[in-house]
Amino acid sequence: MKNRFLPLWCVAVFATAAAFVVHLAIRFETVRLGYEVNEERQRQSDLLQDRRLLSIEAATLRQSGRIETIARGSLGMEVPKPTRIVTMSEERNAAAAGRVR
pLDDT digits (tens, 9 = 90+) for 49-94: 999 999 999 998 888 888 888 888 888 888 888 888 888 877 655 5
Q: What one-letter code names the amino acid at 72? A: R
DSSP one-letter string for the chain: -HHHHHHHHHHHHHHHHHHHHHHHHHHHHHHHHHHHHHHHHHHHHHHHHHHHHHHHHHHHHT-HHHHHHHHHHTS---PPPGGG-----HHHHHHHHS---
Taking the C-alpha atoms of residue 21 and residue 14, their distance in angstroms, rounded to an integer, is 10
pLDDT digits (tens, 9 = 90+) for 17-59: 999 999 999 999 999 999 999 999 999 999 999 999 999 999 9
Tally of domains within the chain: 1
Domain span holding position 17: 2-97
Residue 91: per-residue pLDDT? 65
Model confidence at 98: pLDDT above 70: no
